[in-house]
Amino acid sequence: MTNFQRGPYPATRMRRTRRHDWARRMVAENQLSASNLIWPLFVFDGQGRQRIDSLPGVDRLGTDQIQLEVERAVELGIAAIAIFPATDPSLKTEDAAEAINPDNLVCRTVRQVKQAFGDSIGLICDVALDPYSSHGQDGLVQDGYVVNDETIPVLQQQAIVQAQAGCDIIAPSDMMDGRIGAIRKSLDASGFTEVQIMSYAAKYASAFYGPFRDAVGSSGNLAGGSKATYQQSPTQSDEALHEVALDLAEGADSVMVKPGMPYLDIVRRVKDTFAVPTYAYQVSGEYAMISAAAQNGWLDRKACVMESLMAFRRAGADGVLTYFAPEAAQWIRESESQS
């Protein structure tokens, strides 16, 4: 046997604090709890559930099902839910008028959930026209171009009907210029001074939104159309900071970066620069990727989901919008009761 000379040894051994589970927990720099999770839900006008092929495990929920799922979210301690409508195609028009109907699917759902659950969970609604427009764009279209200033009054009215229904957080995802200030002004003028604005401030023109567009039924309508004239180009980084600065100056209470995993660098820059509540959206395509790989047995679903969510926390996100929210909250609970 070769008689190796032992040492000299390193004085610093990184492995000491990694040796036991208790030691690893003691030095953990980041934590993930159910309070960091926001659950996006799709609703349709009817009863029961509708499958979404490109989002396996995520269904569109009928009126009876939303009640059950929100109950589950409250029980799991999830902070908030975001409600997205699969609007009946017969109600989609060029001018997206259904968006400002105080009795549209989203408003009815918000009233139902508020009545049943009060303030035990936060309610978030998107402000954008795509679930209501026949062309699938987030704003009004004139001569083939999504027009900014003409769209803003519609967005303001959309925010008002949602606030009237009981929405706690208005989340403009449309990326029109100046809409945060305009919406803040009209909310305040209508007495909704306590309604928050979570701005989709750094939102990229991303191919990862595909399954979401299937879920709200806008992919066919958009048909090859692009959102590149208003959503940011994936080439941009400084520009995201500019967007966030504007939205904060206009009155946003919190900001969002979207998509999530491919844009963690942006999450970190936003958090470091502005030190405001910062959220990331692990979007539908990210959910679909992990789910598909797990279904094939290529990835461990639980391990990858939890690692991805911790990565958002490490990057500086205060919270994550994720379709994995209830599963993750359940796993967090189980791991807490074990340790």
Return the DSSP state at 102: T
Q: Which stretch binds ligand PBG (CB under 6 A): 106-114, 207-215, 262-270, 271-279?
A: 207-215
Does residue number 69 form part of the binding site for ligand PBG (CB under 6 A)? no
Does residue number 126 form part of the binding site for ligand PBG (CB under 6 A)? yes
Q: Is 114 a catalytic residue?
A: no
Q: Quick one: three-class SS letters along 297-321?
A: CCCCHHHHHHHHHHHHHHHCCCEEE
Does residue number 138 form part of the binding site for ligand PBG (CB under 6 A)? yes
Does residue number 128 form part of the binding site for ligand PBG (CB under 6 A)? yes
The amino acid sitting at 241 is: L
Per-residue mark of binding to ligand PBG, 149-178 (x: CB under 6 A)? ------------------------x-----
User: How is residue 64 written in tokens?
Assistant: 């009876």
Q: Is the Cβ of residue 140 or residue 283 nearer to ligand PBG in the bound state? A: 283
Q: Which position among 212, 230, 263, 312 is part of the footprint of ligand PBG (CB under 6 A)? A: 212
Does residue number 39 form part of the binding site for ligand PBG (CB under 6 A)? no
> In the chain, what are the helix, strand and coil shares in percent, each to the nearest 5?
45, 15, 35
The C-alpha atoms of residue 237 and residue 242 are separated, in whole angstroms, by 9
User: How is residue 89 written in tokens?
Assistant: 């195609």
Q: Which residues contact 122 (CB under 8 A, 6 or more apart)?
A: 38, 79, 80, 81, 168, 169
Q: Which stretch binds ligand PBG (CB under 6 A): 19-27, 123-131, 151-159, 301-309?
A: 123-131
User: How is residue 297 written in tokens?
Assistant: 């047995």
User: How is residue 59 written in tokens?
Assistant: 């269904």
- Minimum Å gap between C-beta 173 and ligand PBG is 4
Q: What is the size of the binding site for ligand PBG (CB under 6 A)?
A: 11
Among residues 203, 227, 271, 302, which one is catalytic? 203
Q: Is 185 a catalytic residue?
A: no
Q: Which position among 130, 168, 214, 247 is part of the footprint of ligand PBG (CB under 6 A)? A: 130
* Cβ proximity of 184 and 246 under 8 Å: no
- List the Cα angle 287/285/206 in 5-degree steps: 145
Q: Where are the beta strands (DSSP E) in 28-183?
A: 37-43, 49-51, 59-61, 80-85, 122-127, 141-142, 145-146, 169-172
CB atoms within 10 A of CB 13: 10
Q: Which stretch binds ligand PBG (CB under 6 A): 14-22, 115-123, 178-186, 206-214?
A: 206-214
Does residue number 214 form part of the binding site for ligand PBG (CB under 6 A)? no
- Minimum Å gap between C-beta 339 and ligand PBG is 32
Is residue 243 annotated as involved in ligand binding? yes
- Per CB under 6 A, contacts with ligand PBG among 247-286 are 283-284
User: What residue is closest to ligand PBG based on CB?
Assistant: 212
List the binding residues for Mg(2+): 243
Using CB under 6 A, list all residues that contact ligand PBG. 126, 128, 130, 138, 173, 209, 212-213, 227, 283-284
Please list the active-site residues: 203, 258
